[in-house]
A and B are shown apart, each in its own frame.
Chain A
Amino acid sequence: MRRLSFATAGAILVLSLSAWAIRVGDPAPDFTGTDSHGQTHRLSDYRGKYVVLEWTNKGCPYTRKHYDSGNMENLQKEWTAKGVIWLTVLSSAPGEQGYMTAAQENSFMTKMHASPTAAILDPTGAIGHEYEAKTTPDMYVIDPSGKLIYSGAIDDHPTMDLADIKVSKNYVSAALEAAMAGRTVPVGYTRPYGCSVKYASE
């Protein structure tokens, strides 16, 4: 009983000291989502692994830059092979650009040879709002202890030009490499670039 009240007091203390918003270095908020195969995923399920969250919208020219060039698919293959959980998140509201049904998303992934661990369908935008996802693409990297270690742009060339991918520094790979090697992530936060996430209008 004493342990419980201590834990409650501690929880209140922690809660009262934390800000509302997403901050690199803080624990990443837990979420529950359903993927395009109907499976449920919880962030807490993946404690102990690196998790990458990738906000996407297949109609956005910035997203297309990374998918048409194969860049995003390569990243997904490279990092899932190293045990990273890669979750693509679709927060477009029904009727907005980027909204996909489960079947549509599955066929899109097959066509583009995309291989994330799962594609989470978030048409209400709940997960997007929780993470304050602003653009597509907007990338978040979470370490095995549940801490957010990177939030922001996918790379340092905020353009729509496919040619820029070769010369861009990829922030997601940089964060994962550094964290896996036990070093501090050099760049934890950048301004994400892309089209705005098409949330349902309030």
Chain B
Amino acid sequence: MPSGNRLFFVFALLAALLCAWAANAQEPSRAEAKAPHVTVSLLIPPAQIYPGERFTAGLDFRMEPGWHVYWINAGDSGEPPKAQWKLPAGITADALQFPAPKRLPLGPLMDFGYEGEVIFPVPMQVANDYQPTGKQATLGAHVSWLVCREVCLPGKGDLSVERDAFAASLGAPQVDAATQAEIAQYESKVPKPLPAGDAVRFRSTARGFVLDVETGTREDSAQFFPLDAMVIVNAAKQPAQPLNNGVQLSLTKDDNLQATSQQLNGVVELPTGEAYVIHATPGSLTSGGAGKVGNSGGLAGAAGLAFLGGILLNLMPCVFPVLFIKGLALVQSSQQESGRLRAHGWVYTLGILVSFWVVVAVLLALRAAGQQLGWGFQFQSPIFLALMAMLLFFLGLALAGQFEIGLSLTSAGGSLAEKHGYAGSFFTGVLAMVVATPCTAPFMGAAIGYALAHSAAVSFTVFTALALGLAAPYLLLAYNPGWTRLLPRPGAWMEVLKQAVSVPIFATVIWLVWVFARIAGTDALFGLLVAFLLLAIAGWCLGRWPAKWSSAIAAAAVLLAAIGTSVWAVRAFGGETVRRATVIFRNGSRVQGPETATEWQPFSPALLTQERSEGRPVFVDFTASWCLSCQVNERLILNRSDVRQRLHDSGAALLRADWTNEDPDITHALAALGRSGVPTYAIYPADPNAIPHVLPEVLTPGIVLDALNSLGNPPRQSARVAVQ
């Protein structure tokens, strides 16, 4: 019968509705909205709403792989999700809480957000005088979001959950434990305030901020996420320096930041996953620091270090012969008036200062022009090496006694000698600076890296301090004629001493020739040695017929021939073919020394990323043939049997970045570590988001072993999907 059918139909419909309602009631605490690439849910754990209740709701975003939503400060692009609450009277919701984010690099940009899944906890309160308007309360939200991978899709949805409402508080309220646990899991990831008693300070530097965070334990690395936009460059690396009870981060300032910041607000995430909200006030926490001298911070500190470094440079084998020459000249002229001595001292200082300034200006100009150069780069140019070697060889010949020149020590009185003297002092200063550059002594690396990373004014200040340090010993002698009385009286021994000084000069020449041969090849070396022969001939001319114009002209002509020969040799033979051969040499055999047992591979950015993605930490040794400290560290420390064993056992990949020749990849990697020269030793953890640990320039076995121990056992984990 039709009416019977209709009745049955209505009955079935009612049953279906009842089932649907019941099914809904089985999942009461969650309302879901499916959108492209993301599913958004509103989670309300408690089953009942009653006066005085407090609970934490949640907004759950589940994203398809590769898609992300954003943190409260999204970074360079993007927007965080927003919720507009539609709640009954008497129920209030706090703002969304944001768990600690991840860095989401996107080409040259950096965003902050979440991949996979994230629940934003929302604390809610029910007023004590809450009056339900019906048997149920509807808690709803209008949620809008931006979900992105390569492209961005905006989305919005209305979600609501119904709950039984009561006018009086309940004795035994029911809660959906599973949902509550889910929310609690993400609540624990919301950054907490720093424990009371832990300080956080920041100070401005020319290019950014140095943030000191005290956490109570020594931290090897950390990441800073700013809460305010336009304060730091989000994409810039944040080199971390462990402190005894925390960590220090170097942040790069946004170029357009005008006002001086009174407070630095953000989140600091530690490798363990802990995250703290910080509001850093101006100041510093590193008075003693972690024993890393280069970290004293501040312009005065860097300048002071540079000054000390300059003084120390006088002792390095590259510079000492030059100082020795000047010292001997002082000894020679201890008979002259003090005024002239002082003048010589100042002219020498001026020579050093001017040449430092010229080099710094050129470096800054080149840096501004976009080239990547580090200190010591001159020694990557074979022509420069050849000219330096020839200059020192000629000087060595003069000292050995083949002939006398104005630059030599025995300038006996008279106005001509004086004229020579001043010019000689000036150019000796220039020579001192030129030869000093590649000897990056322990104090120097940090000061130079600091200076080159900062503004021009800072660079000039630091290098001026360096120059003054280099000149100081001689200046000191020149200003204390009394001390020259302490110097031995002139005599026959001076001639012997002069000849003896030629020995370190020739040693330096040998070293330069060795580096030249490695860079330019043996064919170019042949040309250089021919040039040396020509120099010896020129010297003989000057010696055979001293103080004669004709011999001087002849010598000059031969000198020019010598220079021409070496330059031609480099041009003809020291070209690309040699570079390729050097690559094969590097790839196929050990680069330096007898480390046949270790597995050092040549550095490349791709290899570094690959090793890290395979779960291996990477130990990178940035070195160069012309860098003496590098050679010393490698032979004495890295090559020690216990260190070698530990390197092998650690499972870390060992990469050697040979910077003997100019290599933009290596220069870039150094800059990313905040360094501009060699030696540099860095351990890159397996986690690609973790910050590399940079070791000091002066290695000890203890330093290397400690650093390797802190790596622990590298977990074998699969590669993270890089979001582009």
Contact = CB atoms under 8 A, between A and B. Distances in A.
Interface of A: 12-13, 15-24, 59-61, 96-97, 129, 132, 134-135, 151, 158-160, 188-199, 201-202
Contacts of B456: 16-17
B230 interface: yes
Given A12-B365, A61-B153, A196 B256 contact: no
Interface stretch (B71-79, B121-129, B626-634): B71-79
B151 A97 contact: yes
A135 B77 CA distance: 6
Interface stretch (B107-115, B578-586, B650-658): B107-115
Contacts of B109: 134, 196-197
Q: Return the 4 tightest CB-CB contacts between A and B, nearest first.
A: A16-B364, A196-B77, A189-B256, A191-B229
B255 A59 contact: no
B84 to A, nearest CB: 13
B154 A160 contact: yes
Given A135-B77, A194-B77, A195-B148, A15 B365 contact: yes
B689 to A, nearest CB: 18
Nearest to A62: B152
B370 interface: yes
Nearest to B364: A16
Interface string B355-384: 000000110110111100000000000000
Interface in B208-244: 229-230
A20 B365 contact: no
Contacts of A61: 146, 152-154
A135 B229 CA distance: 14
Contact of B150 (A21, A190, A194, A198): A198
B455 interface: yes
A61 B144 CA distance: 13
A13 B109 CA distance: 31
A61 B256 CA distance: 27
B455 A19 contact: yes
A186 B148 CA distance: 33
Nearest to A96: B150
B73 to A, nearest CB: 9
Given A198-B150, A201-B724, A202-B107, A151 B79 contact: no
Interface in B149-180: 150-154
Contact of A22 (B78, B255, B362): B255
Interface string B698-724: 000000000000000000000000001
B720 to A, nearest CB: 16
A135 B108 CA distance: 11
Contacts of A195: 77-78, 148, 151-152
Contacts of B150: 96-97, 198
Contacts of A20: 367-368, 370
B106 interface: yes
Interface in B233-275: 255-256, 258
A195 B147 CA distance: 11
A55 to B, nearest CB: 11
Contact of B108 (A18, A59, A199): A199
Contact of B365 (A16, A151, A201): A16
B361 A196 contact: no
A13 B361 contact: yes
A189 B255 CA distance: 10
B151 A59 contact: yes
Nearest to A20: B368
Contacts of A132: 108
A180 B361 CA distance: 37
A15 B79 contact: no
A188 B77 contact: no
B173 to A, nearest CB: 39
Contacts of B230: 189-191
A151 B256 contact: yes
B77 A24 contact: no
Interface residues of B, number: 32
A18 to B, nearest CB: 5
A172 to B, nearest CB: 16
Nearest to B77: A196
A99 B80 CA distance: 26
B471 to A, nearest CB: 23
Contact of A196 (B78, B154, B368): B78
Contacts of B79: 158-159, 193
Contacts of B455: 17, 19
B111 A196 contact: yes
A191 B230 CA distance: 6
A6 to B, nearest CB: 15
B256 A23 contact: yes
B255 A19 contact: yes
A111 to B, nearest CB: 21
Contacts of A160: 146, 154
A19 B365 CA distance: 10
Nearest to A16: B364
B256 A24 contact: yes
Contacts of A159: 79
B107 A15 contact: no
- Among A129, A134, A201, find the residue whose CB has the most chain B CB atoms closer than 10 A: A134
B232 to A, nearest CB: 12
Nearest to B722: A201
A164 to B, nearest CB: 12
Nearest to B361: A16
B368 A16 contact: yes
B376 to A, nearest CB: 19
Given A19-B455, A188-B256, A189-B256, A135 B364 contact: no
B480 to A, nearest CB: 37
B255 A201 contact: no
11 contacts: A15-B368, A17-B455, A19-B368, A96-B150, A97-B151, A134-B109, A135-B77, A195-B78, A196-B78, A196-B111, A198-B150
B410 to A, nearest CB: 38
Contact of A12 (B76, B111, B256, B361): B361
- Among B256, B361, B369, B455, find the residue whose CB has the most chain A CB atoms closer than 10 A: B256
Contacts of B148: 195-196
A60 B79 CA distance: 13
B106 A196 contact: yes
Contacts of A194: 77
A100 to B, nearest CB: 15
B107 A196 contact: yes
Given A193-B79, A196-B77, A196-B107, A18 B368 contact: yes
Contacts of A24: 256
Interface string B42-85: 00000000000000000000000000000000001111000000
A72 B252 CA distance: 34
A158 B74 CA distance: 12
Contacts of A96: 150
Nearest to B82: A159
Contacts of A199: 107-108
Nearest to A97: B151
Nearest to B460: A16
A89 to B, nearest CB: 15
Nearest to A134: B76
Contacts of B370: 20
B263 to A, nearest CB: 18
A132 B108 CA distance: 8
A82 B539 CA distance: 75
B192 to A, nearest CB: 27
